[in-house]
Amino acid sequence: MSAEAIRIAGRRPTRRLFVHQLRSEQLVFWRSREAAFFIFLFPLLLYVLLASVYSGKIYGVPPAEALLAGLVGYGCANTAFAGLAIQLVIRRENGILKRLRSTPLPPATYVGALLISTLIVFALQTIVLFGIGRAFYSTPFPSDIGSLVATIVIGAAAFAALGTATASVIRSAEGSSAVVNFILLPMAFLTGSFGPTRHYPAFLRAIGDVLPLKYFIELVNAVYLHGQGFWTQPGALAVLGAWGVAGLAFTAFKFRWEPHGS
């Protein structure tokens, strides 16, 4: 076999496996009504609900616009952090991850397809969110699509790293949803997903100030509400990056493929 032939033979199966696994992940996700509802639909419903009750201005813009940015943030944490963590724990504890490791599917291909599948769900959700805002509340579309795409990818990556890290510390499938939502919901409230936090007590705001979702929402606000490029927010990018790297490092150190108690 020539070097070229070896290279093609070596690459093709990986790409085929990746596409196959990505399609499988999408099938598994959309077929599960619980996942499709709580991960995909729930943030959309929350948006419709919250945009209907707020009036006046938030951050100097109509509430439907500010809440749209907040719900993109919540959607990101809900999909890439909470959804991914719960799915991973259930799959690990049910032995699916262990079972897959005995097949020729490389672990890196599996993880890659799962992350891209999660990103697809979050990106679709964001598109539908902007569509709902436009249709019901006349919110504008983002002016800088490129920056918004970059923001979404950066946010999804950081929260996915935190999701895998969280999956590494949860020991049972039954408890996974409770633990994850115990983190997610307070974080969303404290960081302004569901409305501004400036009237909160100082200590609650101080907690919010260290959480990654606050900085992701800042990034979305800058890009969507103020029409700025994502690179104009180095502070927010740095904090998100730090959380992401910490999550990744913790995952690399602690993640296991096999169920507990086996």
Partner 1 sequence: MHAIEVSGLRKAYGNLEAVRGVDFTIEEGEVFGLLGPNGAGKTTTVEILEGYRRRDAGEVRVLGSDPERPEPDFRERIGVVLQQSQLWPNLTVRETHAIFAGYYRAPRNVEEAIALVGLQDKANARVKTLSGGQKRRLDLGIALVGDPDLVFLDEPTTGFDPQARRAAWDMIRSLRALGKTVLLTTHYLDEAEQLSDRVAVLREGQIVRVGTPAELTTTDLQTEIRYRQDGEEVLVRTDEPTRVLAELTSAAVARGEELEGLQVRRPSLEEVYLALTAEADAAEVEP
In this structure, which amino acid lies at residue 157?
A
Backbone angles phi, psi at 46, to 5 degrees: -60, -40
Three-class SS of residue 102? coil
Nearer to partner 1, 29 or 216 (CB): 29
Q: Which of 5, 56, 103, 201 is the binder for partner 1 (CB under 8 A)?
A: 103
Rounded CA separation 25/252 (Å): 22
Q: What end-to-end distance do the CA atoms of the chain give, in Å?
A: 44
The sign of the torsion formed by the CA atoms of 224, 119, 185, 138 equals positive
Using CB under 8 A as the binding rule, whether residue 111 contacts partner 1 is answered as no
Nearer to partner 1, 7 or 101 (CB): 101
Using CB under 8 A as the binding rule, whether residue 259 contacts partner 1 is answered as yes
Tokens of 35: 């996942």
Rounded CA separation 68/253 (Å): 36
Question: What one-character-per-residue DSSP string does 186-199 give?
Answer: HHHHHTTTTS--TT
Using CB under 8 A as the binding rule, whether residue 14 contacts partner 1 is answered as no
Rounded CA separation 243/204 (Å): 20
Closest CB 97 distance from partner 1, rounded Å: 10
Q: Which of 44, 98, 149, 250 is the binder for partner 1 (CB under 8 A)?
A: 98
Identify which range of 103-111, 117-125, 139-147, 178-186 contacts partner 1 by CB under 8 A. Answer: 103-111
Site string for partner 1, 33-52 (x = CB under 8 A): x-------------------
Using CB under 8 A as the binding rule, whether residue 262 contacts partner 1 is answered as yes
Three-class SS of residue 97? helix
Closest CB 178 distance from partner 1, rounded Å: 20
Rounded CA separation 209/221 (Å): 16
Q: Which of 14, 52, 94, 232 is the binder for partner 1 (CB under 8 A)?
A: 94
Nearer to partner 1, 98 or 134 (CB): 98
Count of CB atoms situated within 10 Å of the CB of 29:
19
Q: Which of 4, 31, 198, 202 is the binder for partner 1 (CB under 8 A)?
A: 31
Size, binding site for partner 1 by CB under 8 A = 23
Using CB under 8 A as the binding rule, whether residue 171 contacts partner 1 is answered as no
Closest CB 261 distance from partner 1, rounded Å: 10
In this structure, which amino acid lies at residue 79?
T
Rounded CA separation 158/110 (Å): 18
Using CB under 8 A as the binding rule, whether residue 2 contacts partner 1 is answered as no
Closest CB 78 distance from partner 1, rounded Å: 20
Tell me which residues touch partner 1 (CB under 8 A).
13, 17, 20-21, 24, 27-28, 31-33, 94-96, 98-99, 101-105, 258-259, 262
